[in-house]
């Protein structure tokens, strides 16, 4: 049965919906094949980046599918215990309902501050162990040495939802998109995963009548796309934020990103900590310098400890390359 489930995930080509897009069948199989006296399954419901709120929608409307997906994962990888990592807001909103659905299953709810850093799986594991919320050195990876040193499967809320649908032969290769910003119809929409961003905006009646740009895959780390670059699909966590080109203050937007990264930094590594601080400092003093910024970006991309730090330059670089000159 376990082999059949993994084969179904493989055929469906499901990839993790938390941002990293790692093949789900491969991760489940790695945990299944790993040696360990215990194994754990963890559902990440921390969802802490601006403009990303599709997991909240799923927990509100399809919690049974999420729990079923976790139960299938436990049976497949051989785990007897699981956790749902909920940020404080989601715990208050969905905790009681989830407990009723869980019933006798050995799935525990874990309430924590959550946030952007908790999107990194080793940081989340540290928090589950009541350790400092910061990423671990990899390897070893959680699939072989995760929670309390045992093989651990960590997946996003939507990933477990999709796994449940796949095993029940109800999966239609759709995904959830969070659409916000200068949008006519802000909300979460379930649409085909291969649809280009342009079609998504048109079908949801969110295609602006004025010049605009979008930020895709998060309201902080997401990259910028012009309205003539939207024939590509939305990857990662499926977030699309619309900005009216004429109304958007670019410096204010970059300052907002920088403040977010400074506030949500774990302070573990110098490039990420100091890089985010320097970007904010230039913006606060109205002393933005492209050459200095490029040096900061290079240092973060090449030497930041974890993927979160390496992703920080993305929104700044794409905004500067594509829009800064236009508005100047």
Give the separation between CA 312 and CA 222, rounded to whole angstroms: 9
Give the contacts of 215 (CB within 8 A, at least 6 positions apart).
51, 181, 222, 223, 224, 225, 239, 240, 241, 243, 315
For 224, the token pair is: 């910028």
- Bond before 139 cis per omega within 30 degrees: yes
Segment among 108-122, 160-174, 304-318 with least mean pLDDT: 108-122
Strands 174-181 and 223-226: unpaired
Model pLDDT, residue 230: 96
Query: Over the chain, what is the mean pLDDT?
Result: 93
8 A C-beta contact, residue 307 and residue 136: no
| CATH code, 2-167 | 3.40.50.11540
CA dihedral 184, 188, 189, 192 (to 10 degrees): 120
- Give the length of the chain: 328
pLDDT given for residue 268 in this prediction: 85
Q: Residue 4: enclosing H or E segment and its boundaries?
A: helix 2-12
pTM above 0.85, yes or no: yes
pLDDT, position 328: 55
Overall average pLDDT of the 243-253 stretch:
95
**Peptide bond just before 86 cis, omega within 30 deg:** no
Give one DSSP letter per residue of 229-295, joined into a string. Answer: STTSB--TT-EEEEEETTT--HHHHHHHHHHHHHHT----SHHHHHHHHHHHHHHHTT---HHHHHH
Bridge partners (DSSP) of residue 82 are 41, 107
CATH topology of domain 174-244: Ubiquitin-like (UB roll) (3.10.20)
| R_g (Cα) of the chain, nearest Å | 20
Q: What pLDDT does residue 326 have?
A: 64
Q: Which CATH number fits domain 250-327: 3.40.50.720, 1.20.1440.230, 3.90.79.10, 2.30.110.10?
A: 1.20.1440.230
pLDDT of 169-213, one tens digit each?
999 999 999 999 999 999 999 999 999 999 999 999 999 999 999
Spell out the SS3 assignment of 51-84.
Answer: CCCHHHHHHHHCHHHHHHHHHHHHHHHCCCEEEE
Residue 327 has pLDDT above 70, yes or no: no
Residue-wise pLDDT tens digits, 34-78: 999 999 999 999 998 999 999 999 999 999 999 999 999 999 999
306 contacts: CB under 8 Å, gap ≥ 6: 120, 122, 123, 135, 268, 269, 272
Domain spans, the chain:
2-167, 174-244, 250-327
Lowest mean pLDDT among 67-71, 208-212, 253-257, 301-305: 301-305
- Tell me if 2-167 shares its fold with 174-244: no
Tens of pLDDT, residues 136-150: 989 999 999 999 999
Write phi, then psi, for 14 (nearest 5 degrees).
-70, 135
Q: What is the DSSP string of 186-244?
A: -EEEEEETT-BHHHHHHHTT---SS-EEEEES-SSSPEEEETTSTTSB--TT-EEEEEE
**Confidence band, pLDDT 50/70/90 cuts, at residue 19:** confident
pLDDT at 325 over 70: no
């Amino acid at each position: 049965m376990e082999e059949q489930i993994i084969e179904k995930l493989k055929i469906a080509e499901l990839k993790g919906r938390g941002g990293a897009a790692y093949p789900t069948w491969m991760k489940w199989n790695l945990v299944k094949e790993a040696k360990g006296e215990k194994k754990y399954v963890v559902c990440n419901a921390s969802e802490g980046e601006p403009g990303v709120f599709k997991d909240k929608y799923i927990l509100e409307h399809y919690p049974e599918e999420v729990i079923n997906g976790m139960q299938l994962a436990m049976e497949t990888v051989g785990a007897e215990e699981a956790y749902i990592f909920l940020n404080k807001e989601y715990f208050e909103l969905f905790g009681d309902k989830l407990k009723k659905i869980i019933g006798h299953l050995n799935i525990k709810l874990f309430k924590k501050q959550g946030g952007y850093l908790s999107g990194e799986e080793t940081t989340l594991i540290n928090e589950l162990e009541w350790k400092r919320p910061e990423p671990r050195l990899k390897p070893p990876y959680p699939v072989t040495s995760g929670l309390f040193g045992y093989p651990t499967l960590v997946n996003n809320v939507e990933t477990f939802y999709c796994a449940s649908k796949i095993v029940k032969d109800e999966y239609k290769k759709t995904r959830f998109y969070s659409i916000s910003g200068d949008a006519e119809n802000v909300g979460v929409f379930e649409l085909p995963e291969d649809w280009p961003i342009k079609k998504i905006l048109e079908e949801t009646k969110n295609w602006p009548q004025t010049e605009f740009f979008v930020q895709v895959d998060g309201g902080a780390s997401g990259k910028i796309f012009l309205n003539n670059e939207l024939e590509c699909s939305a990857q990662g966590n499926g977030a699309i934020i619309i900005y009216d080109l004429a109304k958007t203050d670019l410096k204010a937007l970059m300052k907002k990103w920088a403040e977010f990264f400074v506030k949500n930094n774990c302070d573990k590594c110098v490039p990420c900590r100091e890089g985010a601080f320097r970007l904010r400092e230039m913006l606060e003093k109205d002393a933005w310098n492209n050459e200095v910024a490029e040096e900061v970006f290079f240092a973060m991309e090449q030497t930041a400890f974890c993927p979160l730090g390496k992703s920080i330059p993305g929104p700044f670089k794409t905004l500067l390359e594509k829009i800064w000159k236009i508005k100047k």
